[in-house]
Amino acid sequence: MASPTYQVVDPRSGEVVETFPHATDDEVATAIDRSSAAFTSWRALPISERAAVVRRVGAAFAERADELAEIATTEMGKVHHEGVEEVELCQAIFDWFATEGPGLAADEPLKTAAPGTAMVQKLPVGPLLGVMPWNFPFYQIARFAAPNLVLGNTVLLKHAESVPRSALVVQEIMDQAGVPEGVYVNLFATHEQVETVIADPRVAGVSLTGSERAGSIVGALAGKHLKKCVLELGGSDPYVLLDTDDVAAAAKLAWDTRMYNAGQACNSNKRMIVMSEIYDDFVSELTALADAVVEVTPLSSRRAAEAVAEQVEDAVARGATLHAGGVLSAGRDAAYSPAVLTGVRPGMRAWTEELFGPVAVVYRVDSDEEALALANDTAYGLGGAVFSRSTARAQALAERLDVGMTNVNTPMGEGPEIPFGGIKRSGYGRELGPLAMDEFVNKRILFVADETPGGA
């Protein structure tokens, strides 16, 4: 069921700031018409010209960094400096694809024993629907839109109902940068209208970043209508600490990683798996860091904070230990104090569910094999990290993680050039890096025979 409107609710107060109506069915039809018509002319432009427009988009993001960060603060509670960092990453993404995209989309010769020349051509496929989440309201758009605009696809963008100002300002930026009309179209669609868009034969594919539930619905619709689909869903990433010379520093890195964006990142280190020799000291350091928090960053919404509180309460009721934090605000705001939780076991919701908030969950293990078994004991498969004084030891374990992104001695490898995506219930397909240029393309084979028929 769609929400009544697209609505800005400030998580710092719970107050409704502004509302926007859903698109009408006629507006949805017009948007698809515009996107389809624009595709014909956009794809015909030399890729160098499309790349130049995409580079201007990145520059336009950077020019409005403070403004965009403030919008994110109002809509989903993001700390201002984290909002600025998000916008800076957007510029880097648009710049990277503007620079590298033309080469990545170039024809690739194929060796063949047949009498002729063969090559793979990477061609755009048409209008694409992007269904984006609220937690990184600008970055998520950038990593979907940048490669596809360079390729020559057009974009219909359905953002989360809670970040309409973010959606509108991105449309402004696209227009400001000179993206032709219809090439990028923001759409305040209902859930039912999303199905209409996916069903339209002119729409070539859909990319969704969001929950498992949303992913299963959109994936089923894409399959029903024979459309290419990319899904980036939830995660419960393992963060394995095998040994360290400095427990305090290791705990601080783990804590800062977990608390970024108030813990609302799909690839956050949601399960900290720590060797028994350093476990007690590690938990003590995390607890001290949690106790030292003075100003609590709100989650994206009151409901989001309540959901995390319910998961933690379930764990504690079933025998887990809450060492610090875990206090839900008594008001209408979305504050939930950063928490440290241990003793999570099978049967608790926190064992199988993603905790999308500021909760550091720590597990004790006695061997590398036990750490690996626990790390892989999840339905998710987004990312993971392994730390050790011995890089070889950490890498040996990291290479056995059942994930789409595995990291050694760093929480995560990041950058426009590094592909992002997972396996299992974390979804499928890749964004960012060279792999992003291979998702929504027609990999057409061109074969030119050495001789014309009849020897002409």
**Catalytic center residues:** 232, 266
On whether the CB atoms of residues 188 and 6 are closer than 8 A, the answer is: yes
Q: What is d(CA 235, CA 69) in angstroms, rounded to the nearest whole number?
A: 25
Q: Which residue has the tokens 């360079």?
A: 150
Tell me the two tokens of residue 30.
């017009």
Short-list 37, 41, 183, 46, CA closest to 101:
46
Give the ranges where 177-301 is alpha helix by DSSP (H).
Answer: 191-199, 212-224, 247-259, 276-291
Helix (H, G, I), strand (E, B) or coil at 198: helix
Strand partners, 322: 341
Amino acid at 178: G
Query: In this structure, how many other beta carbons lie within 10 angstroms of the beta carbon of residue 345?
Result: 12
Query: Which H/E stretch holds residue 141?
Result: helix 139-151
On whether the CB atoms of residues 323 and 317 are closer than 8 A, the answer is: no
Q: What is d(CA 388, CA 394) in angstroms, rounded to the nearest whole number?
A: 5
* Angle between helix 164-176 and helix 47-63 axes, rounded to 10 deg: 130
CA distances from 81 to 67, 72, 137, 181, 268 (A): 12, 11, 15, 32, 18
User: What values do phi and psi take at 433, rounded to 5?
Assistant: 65, -170
Query: In this structure, how many other beta carbons lie within 10 angstroms of the beta carbon of residue 332?
Result: 13
Amino acid at 63: E
Helix (H, G, I), strand (E, B) or coil at 302: helix
Q: What is d(CA 65, CA 142) in angstroms, rounded to the nearest whole number?
A: 14
CA distances from 232 to 114, 268, 354 (A): 40, 14, 14
On whether the CB atoms of residues 11 and 334 are closer than 8 A, the answer is: yes
Separation of first and last alpha carbons in the chain:
64
On whether the CB atoms of residues 97 and 147 are closer than 8 A, the answer is: yes
